[in-house]
């Protein structure tokens, strides 16, 4: 009887082994695919620090581009060769309109006419706003100066008060301001109007 029990148990074990012998030994089925669902690799994730670095890099590139546009928009002696001016050793005081322009990243130059009149250009770049919006918001005292929109600018506004005339030109993120002070308002308005197409051309070249 004892021998008979051993034989029956051995037969059961062999039967179990034989049942598995005809199936491939696929470890993926046993371990990687529970429930018969294929596994897929996890998608790469972007960490907050990486996203922050990318945003900072993009902002820095934009700031560099605007700074270059501002530099390009500044008038030079070759631009003004026919205007009868020479570089000023001291910058004249800003008129009320220039003081009303929101702060940004300004560049500029000052010039003196042979007649003694003065010209100040102030070019300002804005990273977070359009220059057209800035010009629309500026409010200056004095009389409005009629200025035709020149080629190269997207918006132009002007004012005159007490012998000083100011024109603001906008394109993209750059604002170019011109201020002429003369012995009479009529002379200042004529001078600043003659400069408008020159300054607008520099704005276009800056883009």
153-192 pLDDT per residue, tens: 999 999 999 999 999 999 999 999 999 999 999 999 999 9
Is pLDDT of 117 > 60?
yes
Q: What is the pLDDT of residue 67?
A: 93
Rounded Cα gap, residues 139 and 131, in angstroms: 14
Q: What is the pLDDT of residue 199?
A: 97
Q: List, in sequence order, every residue forming a beta bridge with 123; answer none if it has no partner.
A: 107, 176
Which DSSP category does 40 fall into?
-
Report the pLDDT averaged over residues 117-135: 96
Q: What is the pLDDT of residue 17?
A: 40
| Separation of CA 107 from chain center | 17
Q: List, in sequence order, every residue forming a beta bridge with 143; answer none if it has no partner.
A: 160
Cβ contacts of residue 96 below 8 Å, gap of 6+?
140, 141, 142, 161
Mean pLDDT of the chain: 82
User: Predicted confidence band at 129 (pLDDT cuts at 50, 70, 90)?
Assistant: very high
């Amino acid at each position: 009887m004892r021998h008979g029990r051993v034989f029956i148990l051995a037969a059961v074990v062999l039967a179990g082994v034989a049942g598995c012998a005809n199936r491939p030994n696929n470890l993926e089925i046993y371990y990687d695919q529970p429930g018969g669902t294929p596994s897929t690799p996890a998608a790469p994730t972007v960490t907050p620090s990486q996203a922050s670095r990318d945003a900072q890099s993009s902002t820095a590139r934009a700031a560099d581009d605007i700074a270059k546009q501002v530099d390009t928009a500044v008038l030079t002696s070759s631009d003004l060769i026919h205007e009868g001016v020479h570089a000023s050793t001291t910058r004249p005081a800003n008129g009320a309109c220039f003081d009303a322009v929101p702060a940004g990243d300004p560049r500029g130059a000052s010039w003196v006419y042979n007649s003694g009149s003065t010209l100040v250009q102030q070019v300002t770049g804005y990273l977070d706003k359009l220059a057209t919006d800035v010009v629309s918001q500026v409010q200056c005292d004095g009389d409005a100066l009629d200025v035709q929109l020149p080629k190269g600018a997207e918006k132009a506004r002007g004012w005159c008060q007490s012998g000083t005339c100011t024109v603001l030109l906008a394109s993209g993120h750059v604002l170019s301001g011109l201020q002429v002070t003369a012995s009479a308002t009529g002379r200042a308005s004529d001078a600043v109007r003659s400069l408008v197409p020159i300054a607008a051309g520099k704005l276009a070249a800056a883009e």
